Structure 1
Amino acid sequence: MNFVSPSKGRLSLEEVFNDIMAFMEEIPGDCYKIIIGTDSHVKNDTCFVTAIIVHRVGRGARYYYRKKRQRKIESLRQKIFYETALSLDTAGKVAEHLAKSGHGDMDLEIHLDIGPHGDTKELIREVVGMVIGSGFDAKIKPNSSGASTVADKYTK
């Protein structure tokens, strides 16, 4: 599972973890959030982009992303559930690493590319329930910049 950092290039998941820890250790007294979001774009196939963001609240952030191409998925419901599954898989790996490095109490947010307006409003309860049931905080539009801004930037 390789990720891309805009400033550091291709990184393994282990290198991403190490970079996140180094970023948090630069100013250890600050407040940090780990955000994971996935977005997708359908053309000839479906391009899914999952982003990991470490946000130093009020003082910037770093992010990493990975792309995954799948057959063309035209069902909005199927696409949203697959986006959520990719985010949950990544969040599970990040949470495991945080726990091993002594940061198990840190909250992870899953940012979902759904909102109260548009075609995805019917999916909110199910998808948010899936995330909360997995032990993570869920954010939807307009508070889901990890999916709707960062991941979205690399889907096209």
Structure 2
Amino acid sequence: MKEEPFISPSRGPLSFDAMVADIFQFIAADPTARYKLIVGTDSQARDDVTFVTAVIVHRLGKGARYYYRRRVQPKITSLRQKIFYETAISLTLADRLARRVREAGDPSLNVEIHLDVGNGGETRDLIREVTGMVTGSGFRAEIKPYSYGASKVADRYTK
């Protein structure tokens, strides 16, 4: 099965390998800066559910570059199931990205996962479980209002 490309607003469709190369090129342009590598997934339900996963390389205080990928799944009626599926998608990609970063020999670049859950809504009862999934897998977890990778970047492309 052919993997869906990642879309870069400035570079167009990219394979996973081309996206990773572009991330390293962005970092190489200012190697003294500090960076965050973020993965976040959000979804929007209609007849089907559109899941969008964003990868953001954030040059702290100096901008960012991002990429996203969409996938459509049959309708999921349970909010719990949808949030767990979003988390699983992010974990799978973050693991793949972290392995590639380690292979490239950059120990300072850690991947963090932004979750579309927060204390203010229906998802508050799921925070402990999904953050546990993420931290138990070795990644830092962020929730709303700090999870802009999911709640802002990915959300923008679910519509």
TM-score (norm 2): 0.97
Gaps of 5+ in 1: none
Q: Which residue does 1:116 correspond to in 2? A: 119
How far is 1:104 from its partner? 3.3
How far is 1:49 from its partner? 0.2
Q: Which residue does 1:17 correspond to in 2? A: 20
Instruction: Report Cα offsets for 1:102-146 as digits up to 9, x if no partner.
Output: 113422110000001110000000000000000000000000000
Alignment partner of 2:40 out of 37, 42, 45: 37
Which residue identity is paired with 1:91? A
Distance 1:10 1:30 in 2: 27
Distance 1:9 1:118 in 2: 35
Which residue identity is paired with 2:103? K
Alignment partner of 2:149 out of 132, 139, 146: 146
Aligned-residue CA RMSD in angstroms?
0.6
Distance 1:32 1:85 in 2: 24
How far is 1:74 from its partner? 1.2
* 1:36–1:109 Cα contact (<8 Å) kept: yes
Which residue identity is paired with 1:45? D
TM-score (norm 1): 0.99
Aligned residues: 156
Deviating above 2 A after TM superposition, structure 1's stretches of 4 or more consecutive aligned residues are none
For the residue of structure 2 that corresponds to 1:86, the secondary structure is helix
Q: Which residue does 1:125 correspond to in 2? A: 128
Gaps of 5+ in 2: none
Q: Which residue does 1:50 correspond to in 2? A: 53
* 1:38–1:146 Cα contact (<8 Å) kept: yes
Distance 1:57 1:80 in 2: 28
Distance 1:76 1:125 in 2: 15
Q: Which residue does 1:82 correspond to in 2? A: 85
